Structure 1
Amino acid sequence: MTSIDDDEFERLLTDFEHEAIHLETRDAYGTAVELPHMAKWAAGEPDDLEWLQGWCATLRDHAAAGRSVRRARIVSEPLSDYQRWSFSIAAPMVDAGEDIRWVPRRRISSIPIPGNDFYLFDDRLVVFLHYTGNGLAVDKVISTDPGDVQLCRTAFEAVWRVAIPHREYKPV
Structure 2
Amino acid sequence: MPLVPFEEITHLFAEFEHTAFRLETRRGYATDRAGERFQAFQRGFDPRPEPEHPWNVNVRDKAGQGAHFSRIRIVDEPPTDGQLFLIATAAGNVAAGEDIRVISRAVADSVGLPDYDFWLFDSRVLVRMHIDDTDTTTGVEVIEDPAAVLAACRARDTSWALAVPTAQVWAQVRPPV
TM-score, structure 1 as length reference: 0.90
**Residues in 2 aligned to 1:155 and 1:107: alpha-carbon distance in whole angstroms:** 12
Taking a change above 3 Å as real, the CA distance of residues 95 and 48 of structure 1, as seen in their structure-2 partners, is closer
**Residues in 2 aligned to 1:154 and 1:165: alpha-carbon distance in whole angstroms:** 19
Q: Is the 8 A contact 1:18 1:66 kept in 2?
A: yes
Q: Is the 8 A contact 2:116 2:128 kept in 1?
A: yes
TM-score, structure 2 as length reference: 0.88
Q: Would you say 1:135 and 2:122 are equivalent positions?
A: no
**Residues in 2 aligned to 1:91 and 1:133: alpha-carbon distance in whole angstroms:** 28
Q: Is the 8 A contact 1:2 1:143 kept in 2?
A: no
Shifted more, 59-68 versus 6-15: the winner is 6-15
The C-alpha deviation readout for 1:9-49, integer Å capped at 9, x for no partner, is 21011110110110011111112785332122212457555
Taking a change above 3 Å as real, the CA distance of residues 32 and 71 of structure 1, as seen in their structure-2 partners, is closer
Q: Which residue of 1 aligns with 2:99?
A: 99
Moved over 6 A (4+): none
Q: Which residue of 2 aligns with 1:126?
A: 126
**One-letter amino acid of the counterpart of residue 26, structure 1:** R
**One-letter amino acid of the counterpart of residue 99, structure 1:** D
Alignment partner of 2:138: what SS?
Answer: strand
Shifted more, 6-15 versus 149-158: the winner is 6-15
**Residues in 1 aligned to 2:4 and 2:58: alpha-carbon distance in whole angstroms:** 20
Alignment partner of 2:167: what SS?
Answer: coil
Q: Is the 8 A contact 1:77 1:105 kept in 2?
A: yes
Q: Which residue of 2 aligns with 1:58?
A: 58
**Residues in 1 aligned to 2:65 and 2:7: alpha-carbon distance in whole angstroms:** 22
**Residues in 1 aligned to 2:82 and 2:158: alpha-carbon distance in whole angstroms:** 24
Q: Which residue of 1 aligns with 2:75?
A: 75
**One-letter amino acid of the counterpart of residue 129, structure 1:** M
Q: Would you say 1:149 and 2:149 are equivalent positions?
A: yes
Alignment partner of 1:139: what SS?
Answer: strand
Q: Is the 8 A contact 2:68 2:98 kept in 1?
A: yes
Among all aligned residue pairs of Structure 1 and Structure 2, give the percentage whose two residues are the same amino acid. 32
Which blocks of at least 5 consecutive residues in structure 1 are unaligned? Answer: none
The alignment covers a number of residue pairs equal to 172
Which blocks of at least 5 consecutive residues in structure 2 are unaligned? Answer: none
